[in-house]
Chain A
Amino acid sequence: QKEVEQDPGPLSVPEGAIVSLNCTYSNSAFQYFMWYRQYSRKGPELLMYTYSSGNKEDGRFTAQVDKSSKYISLFIRDSQPSDSATYLCAMSENDYKLSFGAGTTVTVRA
Chain B
Amino acid sequence: DGGITQSPKYLFRKEGQNVTLSCEQNLNHDAMYWYRQDPGQGLRLIYYSQIVNDFQKGDIAEGYSVSREKKESFPLTVTSAQKNPTAFYLCASSTGGGNTEAFFGQGTRLTVV
Decide whether A and B assemble into one complex.
Answer: yes
Interfacial residues, chain A to chain B (CB-CB below 8 A): 4, 6, 8, 31-32, 34, 36, 41-46, 49, 51, 88, 90, 92-98, 100-103
Main secondary structure of the interface of B (DSSP, over half): strand
Point out the residue from A32, A42, A43, A103 that lies within 8 Å of B98, measured CB to CB: A32
Whether A98 and B45, one on each chain, are in contact in the complex, defined by CB atoms closer than 8 angstroms, is: yes
B31 within 8 A of A: yes
Whether A98 and B98, one on each chain, are in contact in the complex, defined by CB atoms closer than 8 angstroms, is: yes
Interchain nearest-CB distance for A44 vs B (Å)? 5
Write out the residue numbers on chain B whose beta carbons fall within 8 Å of the beta carbon of A90: 43
A4 and B92 CA atoms in complex are apart in Å by 20
Whether B101 and A92, one on each chain, are in contact in the complex, defined by CB atoms closer than 8 angstroms, is: no
Given A51-B99, A96-B48, A96-B98, A43–B40 Cβ distance below 8 Å?
Answer: no
Whether B102 and A100, one on each chain, are in contact in the complex, defined by CB atoms closer than 8 angstroms, is: no
Given A43-B90, A43-B107, A103-B42, A93–B102 Cβ distance below 8 Å?
Answer: no
Whether B43 and A42, one on each chain, are in contact in the complex, defined by CB atoms closer than 8 angstroms, is: no
Whether B106 and A43, one on each chain, are in contact in the complex, defined by CB atoms closer than 8 angstroms, is: yes
B50 within 8 A of A: yes
